[in-house]
Structure 1
Amino acid sequence: MNITEGEDTLIEARTCGDKNKRVAYKFMDGFHSLCLDKRDILLAEIGACEMLLRACHDEADRIAVEKEIAELKMALDLMP
C-alpha cells in the first residue's frame, strides 16, 4: 500500500512485508527537507501514517500502521 498527497507531503509511508507487516518511509524531494529536526520528522511520519491508516483495507496493514503510530507518538513524548 502506498499513499501520497500532493507536493506538500514531506514523507510518504507504505506498508511492506508478508507475515510481519511494518511501515517504511520515503522522504519526498523538497528544498526545505534538509532543514528538518527530529521532532519535525516524527510529526511528518505520524501524519504520513495517519493518511495511510485512512486508506488501509487489509487488517494486517491496519494493525501495523496503528502500532507504528503508537511507537512514533511515544518517541515524540520522550523527546526533551
Structure 2
Amino acid sequence: MNIENEAGNIVIAKTYNSSTNNGRKVSYAFVDQAHALCLDKKDIIIAEIEACERLLKYAENESDQETVKNELSELKMALDLLT
C-alpha cells in the first residue's frame, strides 16, 4: 500500500510483503534526500512515527493495519529509550 506525498512530510511509509519473515513489513523513504543528512536518530524515529500514523489512516485491510500498529508500537518504544 502506497500513500501519496503530503506537503510538509519528510518521510513516507509503505507496507510490503516480506519473503524473509513470511509476512508484511513497513518500509520508509525520505521525500527529499537532503533531509537524510541533517536529522538525528530521534528526529528520524519521530518522522517514521508520523509516517506510520498517516499510513494507518489509509490501511484498507486487517493485515496492513496490524503490521502498521506493530511498527508504531516498536517505534514508540525506541523513542522512549532515546528520551
| Same fold flag (TM > 0.5) | yes
> Could you say which residue in structure 1 is the equivalent of 2:49?
46
Aligned alpha-carbon RMSD (Å): 1.6
CA distance, structure 1, for counterparts of residue 68 and residue 16 of structure 2:
11
Render the CA deviation track for 1:6-51: whole Å, top value 9, x for unaligned: 3421111000006500100011115444211100000000000000
Which of 63, 70, 73 is matched with 1:67 structurally? 70
> Could you say which residue in structure 2 is the equivalent of 1:29?
32
The residue identity in structure 1 corresponding to 2:52 is: C
CA distance, structure 1, for counterparts of residue 79 and residue 35 of structure 2:
21
Q: Give % identity.
A: 46
Deviation at 1:4, TM superposition (A): 3.3
CA distance, structure 2, for counterparts of residue 32 and residue 15 of structure 1:
22
Q: TM-score, normalised by structure 1?
A: 0.89
Deviation at 1:5, TM superposition (A): 3.5
Q: TM-score, normalised by structure 2?
A: 0.86
The residue identity in structure 2 corresponding to 1:2 is: N
